[in-house]
Structure 1
């Protein structure tokens, strides 16, 4: 009785509930009873004490030109550009993946998707691991985060096995995508924190916005190109009874395949191998190595911790 419209209504209502919690429970750091003196000192570390009798000079703002003059900005932006799209690909395309490869409808895929997002809760380790490196190993904050991010960057490599092992059961790619998603969120929590480690407070919002824009561009590119690739894979890489689809049906070279085309062929007894499997393998492979590439470039741009004054 409750259609898809209710999904938007319920989630929208939860947004108002979250807003209520934010309004009533959020406090500024110096007003919050759970922020201790050491944490408050760290938050305000770029504030200089100004004698009461002196009038404070106007604080110099960071211009966009100045922001882009720092390697730290490019490191953060490139890290976001390379990795945000992987998360949004998994978020948007996993239901289509289960439908295309495993012929699941929205009802059948609901529980696997629920399990997948439960697995992403493992991302909570993203806050614990760098803290361990800083407090137990004596690293500075930037080095601790970068070491944690390198560890997280290896987990998405499991996506290389999603397609080969997916022939056993669909649960294997579901678990792999869940782990990769958890690794992304752990990575994301730390890459955002590197901005506060390196830039003064007055520049954090601008640098974060630049990185967010870079991540949005990367997300657009990977999602748009994935759709184009999958459309191409459906036609160019599929076979019917061992014959390339376009060789058997040349009338569809420049036309879109009709809805239910493959299903009708299978019902007629034809042996159909959908080329979209190869398309997903390509995108999974890109997502698998994206984090290591991002980390390598970030480390090359900012090899050691250097705070910008």
Structure 2
């Protein structure tokens, strides 16, 4: 099925201002992940310093995820109500200030409270970014734009093992939180100066504006009540898919340094190389997943088949990660984990975009937040379960086995129960 831009034959005539907006989203997502990655990088040192058990660390991680779930549930509705510019300003201000306040924590409860508050603030990033992409990009470009801004999550994760150990050794662990929190406030100045809606932006060429707005839904579509959307089976299938797959990414984000330290005796200063390798490949996965889906649409495939075919490939790529838990070779494990994290990021570029493919633009923030809430709840439960498994068995093998198949399960649910029509 052709998108509106393809049916009308509209082009941007070489004007690309919308990609500057995508760059802003990329940096916001990079900072978002850098801030949340600080604790994971410092985990081995902070665990020794504050004498945390595996279960204690699991509770700290879980606090962030429960707050993230609550925040997502509210963030999407707030963004749809007050607009992306104001909403994003509020959320990045909260998470940047709270990130800096981690430096004041001195106890287990102090870190739990700090992580909870950080989760509330950071919850606004993805609903705001997805809503911005839905407003600034036609359907055939959205997955690629999503893949590009989502690749910022990996850049943040790449910068973290380079910057955080240096800050820790040079000035102490508190400065790691202070410096990374400050970056969000710097980004905010650029956001306030640059962002406007495409139909209001003075710097946008009329040809590009027409190209962007051609895929906007009709007024009737925009007025669909939210309560009716909740009766749509596709909403709950997407939520279930996020519930199943988000814990996999959260596991790698927070337990990867601990896994490498426990399995291969990697110290803080040596953890940078494997983590950077993993997240560089993840970055490529995010961009490639978005590009491949968009490429299929531009070459005549339906949006439905393009998204689902890409997601199937992601599911197959994630399967071999089980071997990372049993190999005795560090870089073999890094290779398997890299393949799985690249698969997740390619999957994310498409599952995020499916929401804007199916639902009205003025509901995208709310529904993205709802799906993210399910993902965060899954992540929170996963963190508790992982902590208990490691506390009892001291083995990562059952965790890797369980997580390796989640993407194929999610693909099956989408294949059977979700039809994408644009």
Measured against the shorter chain, the TM-score band is: 0.7 to 0.9
Aligned-pair Cα RMSD in Å: 2.1
State the Cα distance separating 1:188 from its structure 2 match. Answer: 0.9
Residue number in structure 2 paired with 1:6: 175
User: Which residue of 232, 236, 261 corresponds with 1:70?
Assistant: 232
Q: Under a length normalisation based on structure 2, what TM-score does the superposition of the two structures give?
A: 0.55
Conserved? CA contact 1:156–1:288, under 8 Å: yes
Q: 1:282 to 1:46 in 2, by over 3 A?
A: farther
Q: How many residues align?
A: 248
Question: Please, which of 172, 190, 193 is the counterpart of residue 24 of structure 1?
Answer: 193
Which of 292, 295, 300 in structure 2 is aligned with 1:129?
A: 292
Larger radius of gyration: 1
Gap runs ≥5 in structure 1? 50-57, 235-275
TM-score relative to the length of structure 1: 0.74
2:39 paired with 1:39: no
Paired residues of 1:61 and 1:202 also in contact (CA < 8 A): no
Match of 2:412 in 1: 296
Per residue, is there more helix in 1 or in 2?
A: 2
Cα pair 1:81 1:217 within 8 Å, conserved: yes
Displacement of 1:220 in angstroms is 1.0
210, 214, 217: which is aligned to 2:370?
Answer: 210
Residues 59 and 45 from structure 1, CA distance in 2 versus in 1: closer, same or farther, beyond 3 angstroms?
closer
Q: Give the alignment of 1:141-220 within 5 angstroms.
A: 141-164=303-326, 166-167=327-328, 169-220=329-380
DSSP 3-state at the match of 1:228: helix
The 2-side partners of 1:289 and 1:100 are apart by 24
Q: Structure 1 residue 115 and structure 2 residue 115: aligned?
A: no
Q: How far did 1:227 drift?
A: 0.7
Deviation (angstroms), 1:10: 2.0
1:29 aligned counterpart, secondary structure: coil
Secondary structure at 1:98's aligned position in 2?
helix
- Determine helix, strand or coil for the equivalent of 2:226: coil
Q: Are 1:61 and 1:203, in contact at CA under 8 Å, matched by a contact in 2?
A: no
Per the alignment, in what secondary structure is the counterpart of residue 171 of structure 2? coil
1:222 has 2:378 as partner: no
Contiguous gaps of at least 5 residues in structure 2 = 1-169
Q: Secondary structure at the match of 2:388?
A: helix
Distance in 1 between residues matched to 2:307 and 2:383, nearest whole Å? 28
Alignment partner, residue 281 of structure 1: 397
